[in-house]
Structure 1
Amino acid sequence: MDHVNHTWTQTFILAGFNSSGMLRHLAFTGTLCIYLLTLAGNLVIIVLVKADSGLSTPMYFFISVLSFLELWYVSTTVPTLLHTLLHGCSPISSALCFTQLYVFHSLGMSECYLLCVMALDRYLAICHPLHYHALMSRQVQQWLARATWMAGFSAALVPTSLTATVQYCLKEVAHYFCDLAPLMRLACVDTGWHSQVHGAVIGVATGCNFVLILGLYGGILRAVWKLPSAASRAKAFSTCSSHVSVVALFYASAFTVYVGSPGSQAEGTDKLIALVYTLLTPFLNPIIYTLRNKDVKEAVRRVSDRIRTIWRGPL
């Protein structure tokens, strides 16, 4: 009990990146711009899906859920990154540190489950088109969306609670936010058992969902190759290309950091890789889902026309 109290009463120091002067100010400005564009891009997708009936399909519903998740995901870590870039090493209370750890991993694992649900949506749309709307009704969509959040926030309880009960002798976290690997390096005791549990829980959330996604896309490929024309095959593939790109970005960085024992990555390497999934991926997701997407472009035009009509009305 003593080491639990010890853990929760101390203050950690977020080391951030070793940069100074002009480089730090440029990094702060660039990060702030990307953060604001990420918030704006994901908010635009959410508003478009809500405001335009042309996007009232299961696929765009799940895209809007992903955008909502990304708003919270990017806001969990980037503000502390901005703070360390602006002020250097920054203190953070243990309670806030473990809260950040929990929310970050909850949202990350929720995204794993959500990407799997989005693959299931594409599988049903392509492989079972006649029954698609019955199988993916509004009630089913909402249930699946809630289930992804519940699964993610439940699974994250295990690694967070284990990490919070470890006794720490060092305070300086070699990162810009509280994550498993840099925290494990600060422990006074052997954390081998903790790392195995962390790897098992995160491995189930990432690995099993990834295998399911691969299986669903295997079924999609078989169904697409049976289509009669090249045009119909291209159209079917086009509805999946954005999702495949997002899955590739997300899982490439997640496997690099979290497959294996937390703490096995070299210090500094995990910080650079973390920038991909904490900043770059949430920034790119809205671009990937809207670039060359005719439905979204038409929705933007319709909503813009509606706004212009409202403004011109009083005139």
Structure 2
Amino acid sequence: METRNHTRVPEFIMEGIFEHPHLQGLFFGIILCLFMALIIGKSLIIMAVVLHLPLHKPMYFFIANLALIDIVCTSSVLPKMMQNLIVGKKTISFNGCMAQLFTFTSSAATELVLLTAMAFDRYMAVCHPLHYVTIMTKRVCITLAACIGALGIMNSLVHTLVMLRLDFCGPNLIQHFCEIPPLLALSWSSAYLNEVMAFIADIFLAMGNFLLIIVSYGFIIRSILKIQGSEGKSRAFSTCYLHLVVVGLYYSTITYTYIWPPSGYSLDKDKMVSVLYTLVTPALNPLIYSLCNKEVKMAFTKILTFCKIDSY
């Protein structure tokens, strides 16, 4: 029997998504500003939903959960990226890389299923308004959110455990951060099981949830078209189009990255796409919900007014 004498690399080198070393300070400032805007925007949404009674509805409950997941997802990647930019030591330990993989994968999977739950909420509100209050109760929403979070954690745990069984003996260069495709590209051992698990996750979590969203909005659009009067149609559609924008932004970036087979991953591709779904898209979500939703804007105004009065 052939003995395995491979030495696992103690750390990975994160080359980063930005070139031109002389502009690292500028890139750090840009990422820091976007990161702070994201944290502040998401925190305001959560505060608005918790403190403003008119927002105590299932739709806004799921929006607050989405904001929290976005914070976790982005915080798993950006602080280390900013540290590497400012310190210059662009490395991450093996255990740190696995922790980043687990956190990012669990939050990404949770967000995929949460977007489907939000589509179901809109389907019930538009297509079955008489039963909406009795079905989408507080207990049901909390249970649904807890099950979605547990599903995301279980999915990430499986991917992390099968990743730990692989040999990483070098090279150890990662283009941006620790996620499944670049890590599989660095493995010396067979990644067949990992690719199978990633394919299954893509089918059920990405494509399956996307199809459920499409079907839900197919029924929603059909119900809206049956509404008499343009004002009623506009009011019904206004509760849905914000969610559609968020779904489009998220799926168009993350599906582009994960739809490719991991064995065919290239270290030089998809750097900027990773920036989109880890930073730009989550940063845009608060703007989408706050600038286009009257109830959220009203809640923001009351919170900011209260903070000003309290400061005097």
Give the TM bin, normalised by the shorter chain.
Answer: over 0.9
5+ long unaligned stretches in structure 2:
none
C-alpha distance in structure 1 between counterparts of 2:98 and 2:50, whole Å: 34
1:112 aligns with 2:102: no
User: Following the alignment from structure 2 to structure 1, what is the Cα–Cα distance between the partners of residues 102 and 239?
Assistant: 33
The equivalent of 2:72 in structure 1 is 72
The root-mean-square deviation of aligned C-alpha atoms, in Å, is: 2.0
Q: Which residue does 1:153 correspond to in 2?
A: 153
> In the TM superposition, what whole-angstrom CA distance separates every residue of 1:128-168 from its partner, at most 9, and x where no partner exists?
11111111000011011111100111112222211111111
Q: 1:16 to 1:305 in 2, by over 3 A?
A: closer
Offset from partner CA, 1:200-221 (integer Å, 9 cap, x none): 2233111111111111111101
Cα 1:164/1:4, change in 2 over 3 Å = farther
Greater shift, 120-129 or 23-32, is seen at: 23-32
Matched, 1:279 2:279: yes
Separation in structure 2 between the aligned mates of residue 146 and residue 193 of structure 1, nearest angstrom:
28
> Match of 2:27?
27
* Aligned match of 2:296: 296
**Which position in structure 1 is the counterpart of 2:234?**
234
TM-score calculated relative to the size of structure 2: 0.93
Q: Distance in 2 between matches of 1:21 and 1:162?
A: 35
Deviations 1:63-108 (A, max 9, x none): 0111111111110001122123223452222111111101110000
Given residue 63 of structure 1, which amino acid in structure 2 is its aligned partner? I
1:218 aligns with 2:221: no
Q: Give ranges in structure 1 of 5+ residues lacking alignment.
A: none
Alpha-carbon distance between aligned partners in 2 of 1:174 and 1:210, rounded to the nearest angstrom: 29
Partners of 2:118 and 2:213 lie apart in 1 by 9
Distance 1:287 1:86 in 2: 28
Distance 1:228 1:4 in 2: 73
1:193, distance to aligned residue in structure 2 (A): 4.1
Q: CA deviation at 1:42?
A: 0.1
1:25-77 C-alpha deviation (Å, 9 max, x unpaired): 21111011000100000000011111111111111111011111111111000
Tell me the equivalent position of 1:207: 207
Cα displacement (A) at 1:23 = 2.1
1:247 aligns with 2:247: yes
Quote the Cα distance in structure 2 between the aligned partners of 1:282 and 1:88.
26
Structure 2 distance, partners of 1:297, 1:4, is 61
Q: Following the alignment from structure 2 to structure 1, what is the Cα–Cα distance between the partners of residues 305 and 178? A: 45
Q: Which residue of 2 aligns with 1:11?
A: 11
CA distance in 1, matches of 2:249, 2:277: 8
Q: What is the alpha-carbon distance in structure 2 between the residues aligned to residue 35 and residue 265 of structure 1?
A: 28
User: CA deviation digits over 1:224-276, x for unaligned, max 9?
Assistant: 00000111111111111110011011111111110131242432222211101
2:164 is matched with 164
Give 3-state SS (helix, strand or coil) of 1:201's partner. helix
Q: TM-score, normalised by structure 1?
A: 0.92
CA contact (8 A) 1:4 1:166 kept: no
Q: 1:74 to 1:228 in 2, by over 3 A?
A: same
Q: What is the CA–CA distance in structure 2 between the aligned matches of 1:92 and 1:22, rounded to whole Å?
A: 22
SS of corresponding position for 2:31: helix
Query: Percent of pairs identical after alignment?
Result: 32
Is the CA contact (8 Å cut-off) linking 1:196 and 1:261 kept in structure 2?
Answer: no
1:132-151 correspondence runs (5 A): 132-151=132-151
Displacement of 1:306 in angstroms is: 3.6
Q: Distance in 1 between matches of 2:252 and 2:132?
A: 30
**1:28 aligned partner, one-letter code:** F
